[in-house]
Amino acid sequence: MNKVSRDNSLIIKIITFSILTFGLIMVYDASNIWANYKFNDSFYYLKRQLIFATVGAFIFYIASRISIYRIRKYTKLILIVSLILLVLVLIPGIGQVRNGSRSWFGIGAFGFQPSELFKIALIIYAADFLERHYDKSTKLKEIMPLLVIAILGFGLVMFEPDFGTGLVTLAGLAMLLFVTKLRSRYYVIIGGLAVGFFIFLIVSAPYRFDRIVSFLNPYEDPLGTGFQIIQSLYAIGPGGLSGFGFLNSMQQHYYLPEPQTDFIFAIVVSNFGFLGAVLILITYGYLFFCSYKLAINMDDLYSSLLKIGLTNSIVIQTLINLCVVVGLLPVTGITLPLLSYGGSSLVITLFSLGIISNIKEEKDAFFNISK
């Protein structure tokens, strides 16, 4: 184990739990007024998020300590279970409908999204598959089984429907394929088909098309589809250099719907201004930099692919969320990793970061870069 890997692993752990701690504070900040109105308990969302964070922290610890090859041993089992759960959640009486999407299992007062599990299961399977077929991955037919499984899982996710998670899942896999030896023309073919398919999905569902229209001109329907993005921009705009301060954002007073979830970054900017936003972005950027650096210095191809794939997924989710909040993308329902309220997403993100920070059984780096 070299010093660079140890240092990067430690930095990943420190940044992860720093953002997580700040996220708990911001969940309370963003939700306390609404929670007090709806549940007569201003700490309602914070208490639930603390439970999610505790479970996630335990899973992070396990994932960062066990051998990655123990995880690899159960690759197919994890994938099969995730696909079965995606089927079960579609069955009325088993899966619960929340916000118009049958994508949840009810577990007491809590819920679980199987699409979040599939997101990480596909990366684990892809890393194993691509490592075993690495020297043969120049041809499309060699990776076709992987693509079929990805499309199958994506199709099940879209039946819920959960377009945001499906998008992150496929985008994370697509980025991982760039590490393979697949010929350039196949990337063009796959990319063209993907773009055409996504356009079809958008125009075939009225609510998705409405989101595109509201993204292009939110003021066309300011009290309907454009309401959330308009209120997000109203939260960000007046924040200035240093913001209004903790608990002082006006947008948490019933203006911005459920600000503790998808749009928590808007509350961060409102409270802490431009300087706070820049600090958060730098922190995320350094987390991703250390994650990629650790990944490419791992002892073998499988570990590198796994860590790169998991990092890709978190990076894409972060970028999409931030772009939505500032009006650069249509609303997707995707949370901001580690900061937003949400149990399934938080636990899976911490599991992913635990694997990324894992430096067990390191030998000579497969991708050898200058230290």
Buried b (16+ CB within 10 A) or exposed e, 242-270: ebbeeeebebbeeebebbbbbbbbbbbbb
DSSP state of 274: H
**Phi–psi pair at 295, nearest 5 degrees:** -60, -45
Report cis status (omega within 30 of 0) of the bond before 145: no
Residue 140 sits in which domain range?
3-357
Q: pLDDT tier at 96 (50, 70, 90 boundaries)?
A: confident
> How many Å apart are CA 62 and CA 49, to the nearest integer?
20
Question: What integer pLDDT is reported at residue 242 of this predicted model?
Answer: 85
Predicted confidence (pLDDT) at residue 21 exceeds the cutoff of 60: yes
Question: What integer pLDDT is reported at residue 363 of this predicted model?
Answer: 45
- Helix 264-296 vs helix 3-39: crossing angle, to nearest 10: 160
Question: What integer pLDDT is reported at residue 219 of this predicted model?
Answer: 73
pTM score: 0.88
| In-domain check, residue 98 | yes
Residue range 93-105: mean pLDDT, rounded: 78
Kindly report, residue by residue over 38-62, the tens digit of the pLDDT: 888 999 999 999 999 999 999 999 9
The closest alpha carbon to 350, from 123, 52, 139, belongs to 52
Residue type, 182: L
| In-domain check, residue 370 | no
Question: What is the token pair recorded at 276?
Answer: 């706070």
> How many Å apart are CA 119 and CA 321, to the nearest integer?
16
The closest alpha carbon to 266, from 291, 297, 244, belongs to 244
Total tally of structural domains belonging to the chain: 1
Question: What is the token pair recorded at 58?
Answer: 């335990």
Radius of gyration of the chain (CA): 21
| In-domain check, residue 330 | yes
Kindly report, residue by residue over 284-331, the tens digit of the pLDDT: 999 999 999 999 888 788 999 999 999 999 999 999 999 988 888 888
> How many Å apart are CA 294 and CA 371, to the nearest integer?
11
Q: 294 with 359: CB under 8 angstroms?
A: yes
> How many Å apart are CA 151 and CA 175, to the nearest integer?
15
| In-domain check, residue 152 | yes
Predicted confidence (pLDDT) at residue 256 exceeds the cutoff of 80: no
| In-domain check, residue 368 | no
| In-domain check, residue 364 | no
| In-domain check, residue 205 | yes
**CA within 13 Å, CB half, 58:** 5
| In-domain check, residue 206 | yes
